[in-house]
Structure 1
Amino acid sequence: MEFFSKAKTVRLRSHHDKYLWAEEDEETVSQDRDGASKNAKWRVEFVQGSPLIRLKSCYNYYLTATDIPFLLGMTGKKVLQTLPPRVDSSVEWEPIREGFHVKLKTRYGNYLRANGGPPPWRNKVTHDIPHRTATQDWVLWEIEIMEIDFQSPPPAAPAFQSSPAAAELDPSSPISAPKPDGRLIYYAIGGDNGHIEDGYEWPSFIFKGNDLHELTRKLEEEIGLQDIIVCSQHPSTGKLFPLRLQLPPNNAPMHLVLVQVSSRLARSFI
């Protein structure tokens, strides 16, 4: 479940380096390499009181494990986009961690499977139990978080309040706002290649000190993920590089990009 903690929108990348894809017919589910499209993005819903999740496509339909055979005589069942009149267990998936990947288990005990090979299997998505060693990895998915679901901030104090806190809210106040004790850290979760979506609003927090290990732990708490690499952008080339040493001694604000160790960018650092 920690892979989806605080996640609002995700992409799921298969063993074939393709994304779980909601087709435009608003029914079919497949795989596609175009991760930038809205069709590759799935909204996460948490089932209260359980480790289960639901995934909604860009067309507002649920990722659904049906009981319809993909091909007669074969064990794989169809996975579709549906909107049942009553939400039931067919739209609920249990995330099971497998190293840096996740398996999504259905109520049938099957797993969301990205198929390969020649047609009619190529790019198709089913739910099944892999029996052959060659297809064991077909049920493994890399989770790429696109948006985080932050709690709403507390309401601001009224503008007429004549306290130091109000002075922070009202720049015209003659009372000087106290300087923050620490540096302002802006952060974003990068995609597989460290890409940040256009228009992304960078959340931030105040961090005291210059210990990189402590900052990494704090960021993991903020986003609800583990196994991340904290990166900065080179001022000349614009390329991302991992932070290895202590933070600069000054308290200048920093913009940091977080990538998962399973990402393609992280692998290029090795």
Structure 2
Amino acid sequence: MELFTKSSAVRLRSCHEKYLFAVDDEKTVRQSSDGTSRQSVWTVEMVPRKPNFIRLKSCYGKYLTASDSSFLLGMTGQRVIQTPPFRQAEHESDWEPIRDDLPVKLMSWNGKYLRGNGGSPPWKNSVTHDREPNMAATKKWILWTVETVECPEKVSFADRFSSPASSFNSSVSSDESNHESTVKKSSSCGSSNSIGSDPGSVSSPKLMFTPTMSGTLSPKPTEYQQMEFFHNAKAVRMRNVHEKYLMADEDEETVTQDRTGSDKRARWTVEPVRGSFEVIRLRSCYGNYLTASNERFLLGATGRKVVLSKPNRLGSSVEWEPVREGSKVKLRTRYGNFLRANGGLPPWRNSATHDSPHSSDSFLWDVDLIEILAGTGPPALAPMTTPAPHRKPSSPPMSRTSSEKYVEELTESLPKSEGRVIYYHIADVEGHVEDESAVEYALTFKGNSVEQLTQALREETSMDDVVVCTRNPLNGKLFPLRLQLPPNNGTMHVVLVPSTT
């Protein structure tokens, strides 16, 4: 209990390395990887006449509440929401910290536990309260690591002026530790200390700021330089791991990928967002904005559509936060997803979605500066009409013969020599595939063991509890893969079956 009594505000991190997050509709609660946002900070309040209970208040002034409505019909889990103060049923906002050991459990008013769910949608990233799990795979879902937040009133200030690199460089290297300790002594606001975890781990984010002469906080110079690239840019091109460019389709609604980088549709105008240093908008040649929609790309898949739109009011759906990763960049939505260039077979091939991050290279983008703002110096690259030789399109932008188009399409469809292509279907809970004649999903896999393949497919599908199976060529029955994969990087066809079947 002293973890909470000694702290005015905390962050709660689940076993999925995601934070308890208050959504800006001021009602929903979910998990998010963004631990630097004020939406992941919860103010601790003691409950009068109940010394063992606390209440957690979000940045919107609403309380974390264990409701009595079911999350899904027929399931035991119930919704956890935000509710305003002075409600008649205030006891539903009371939580009792249970500390058998670190991390902690939070028990609701009806004896259930706050639970950060994993698995596939709609469970993924959801938060419920439920009885203690019996399965070993889900026992950790009710465990939470508590991170104290010093000066929580400063977190919104930090959110506004921190660069994207602050989230990427959340784990501070040893050569910066002395500098950071000095900063903490000068100004402790904006830092966080993890309780129940390694303070030097990646899962313990630390906002990296330096005090200025005036005593206020400002981003470190290295972080500013990383973001300065976009603030100096008037227009950019973005190339993905498939060597294709992010492209605005002629229907002025669809976003695709294409190899023709000299096309005007590959040009994106950079617009800064007033009052936010780290966020930009990207406008296509048609005047529409790159938009992270809420519509699912395919039913049952985690990815959501990225489209072109021209809303009457420019909101968070058209705002993107560049996050640097080495020499490349990820583009993060305001809700924690990342812009993804899909490969494989149709309908995935050449599509763009936004999805939760994992280890795939499909979230990484090379950014070509093709026009800079006036007065910021000479352009770093040649104009868009004459791309560098190693980035020229495989075919000239002029009209091509049908045979040339066929050759290009055939070349694109061939798998790369690195790794093997894994084609897979997803079975239902009874082990049946609805339509095996339908097009299979595809994944390029570079490992050589069944364990690595299973992990790669779990990350690709966001399904935690699946078994990779193959069909017996004699009787057509499914059996789990247990030995080494076939040699010579041969193509494989597998079926993902929920492990509970």
TM-score class, shorter: 0.5 to 0.7
The answer (yes or no) to whether the contact 2:148–2:195 under 8 Å persists in 1 is no
Residue 147 of structure 2 is aligned to residue 147 of structure 1: no
- Equivalent position of 1:31 in the other structure: 31
Q: Which gives a bigger RCO, structure 1 or 2 (Cα 8 Å, sep 6+)?
A: 1
The structural deviation recorded for 1:261 is 6.2
- Structure 1 window deviating more from structure 2 (7-16 vs 45-54): it is 45-54
- TM-score, normalization by structure 1: 0.58
The answer (yes or no) to whether the contact 2:146–2:196 under 8 Å persists in 1 is no
The answer (yes or no) to whether the contact 1:261–1:267 under 8 Å persists in 2 is no
- Equivalent position of 2:75 in the other structure: 74
- Equivalent position of 1:100 in the other structure: 102
Residue 89 of structure 1 aligns to a residue in which SS?
A: helix
The structural deviation recorded for 1:98 is 3.2
The structural deviation recorded for 1:60 is 0.5
Tell me, in whole angstroms, the C-alpha distance in 1 between the residues paired with 2:38 and 2:75.
31
Residue 199 of structure 2 aligns to a residue in which SS?
A: helix
Residues 26/141 of structure 1: CA separation in 2 closer, same or farther (3 Å cut): same
**Residues 79-228 of structure 1 correspond to what in structure 2 (within 5 A)?**
79-83=80-84, 84-86=86-88, 88-129=90-131, 130-147=133-150
- 1:207-262 Cα deviation digits (max 9, x unpaired): xxxxxxxxxxxxxxxxxxxxxxxxxx98xx33159x9xxxxxxxxxx949895563
Residue 176 of structure 2 is aligned to residue 238 of structure 1: yes
The answer (yes or no) to whether the contact 2:147–2:193 under 8 Å persists in 1 is no
Tell me, in whole angstroms, the C-alpha distance in 2 between the residues paired with 1:76 and 1:29.
14
Tell me, in whole angstroms, the C-alpha distance in 1 between the residues paired with 2:195 and 2:34.
21
- TM-score, normalization by structure 2: 0.32
Tell me, in whole angstroms, the C-alpha distance in 2 between the residues paired with 1:146 and 1:58.
13
The structural deviation recorded for 1:33 is 0.4
The answer (yes or no) to whether the contact 2:22–2:40 under 8 Å persists in 1 is yes
The structural deviation recorded for 1:3 is 1.2
Residues 63/261 of structure 1: CA separation in 2 closer, same or farther (3 Å cut): closer
- Equivalent position of 2:199 in the other structure: 265
Tell me, in whole angstroms, the C-alpha distance in 2 between the residues paired with 1:261 and 1:89.
27
Tell me, in whole angstroms, the C-alpha distance in 2 between the residues paired with 1:80 and 1:86.
16
- Equivalent position of 2:20 in the other structure: 20
The structural deviation recorded for 1:88 is 1.9
Which amino acid letter does the alignment assign opposite residue 38 of structure 1?
R
Residue 3 of structure 2 aligns to a residue in which SS?
A: coil
Residues 66/143 of structure 1: CA separation in 2 closer, same or farther (3 Å cut): same
- Equivalent position of 1:62 in the other structure: 63
The structural deviation recorded for 1:94 is 0.0
The structural deviation recorded for 1:99 is 1.7
Residues 20/240 of structure 1: CA separation in 2 closer, same or farther (3 Å cut): farther
Residue 85 of structure 1 aligns to a residue in which SS?
A: coil
The answer (yes or no) to whether the contact 1:77–1:128 under 8 Å persists in 2 is yes
Residue 127 of structure 1 aligns to a residue in which SS?
A: strand
Which amino acid letter does the alignment assign opposite residue 122 of structure 1?
K
Residue 138 of structure 1 aligns to a residue in which SS?
A: helix
Tell me, in whole angstroms, the C-alpha distance in 1 between the residues paired with 2:25 and 2:194.
33
Tell me, in whole angstroms, the C-alpha distance in 1 between the residues paired with 2:62 and 2:195.
31
- 1:44-93 Cα deviation digits (max 9, x unpaired): 10013321000001110000000000001000000000115336210000
**% identity of equivalent residues:** 46
- Equivalent position of 2:482 in the other structure: none
- Equivalent position of 1:159 in the other structure: none
Tell me, in whole angstroms, the C-alpha distance in 2 between the residues paired with 1:41 and 1:263.
18
Residue 49 of structure 2 is aligned to residue 46 of structure 1: no
- Equivalent position of 1:192 in the other structure: none
The structural deviation recorded for 1:148 is 6.9
Q: CA RMSD in A?
A: 3.1
Residues 148/94 of structure 1: CA separation in 2 closer, same or farther (3 Å cut): farther
Residues 261/5 of structure 1: CA separation in 2 closer, same or farther (3 Å cut): closer
The answer (yes or no) to whether the contact 2:145–2:194 under 8 Å persists in 1 is no
Which amino acid letter does the alignment assign opposite residue 99 of structure 1?
D
Residues 240/128 of structure 1: CA separation in 2 closer, same or farther (3 Å cut): farther
May I ask how many residue pairs the two structures share in their alignment?
Answer: 177
Tell me, in whole angstroms, the C-alpha distance in 2 between the residues paired with 1:51 and 1:66.
20
Question: Which 5+ residue runs of structure 2 have no aligned equivalent?
Answer: 159-172, 203-501
Tell me, in whole angstroms, the C-alpha distance in 2 between the residues paired with 1:132 and 1:73.
19
Tell me, in whole angstroms, the C-alpha distance in 1 between the residues paired with 2:102 and 2:135.
22
Residue 15 of structure 1 aligns to a residue in which SS?
A: coil
Residue 95 of structure 1 aligns to a residue in which SS?
A: strand
Higher helix share: 2
**Which structure: larger Rg?**
2
Residue 34 of structure 1 aligns to a residue in which SS?
A: coil
Residues 148/3 of structure 1: CA separation in 2 closer, same or farther (3 Å cut): farther
The answer (yes or no) to whether the contact 2:118–2:125 under 8 Å persists in 1 is yes
The answer (yes or no) to whether the contact 1:260–1:266 under 8 Å persists in 2 is no
Tell me, in whole angstroms, the C-alpha distance in 1 between the residues paired with 2:97 and 2:9.
15
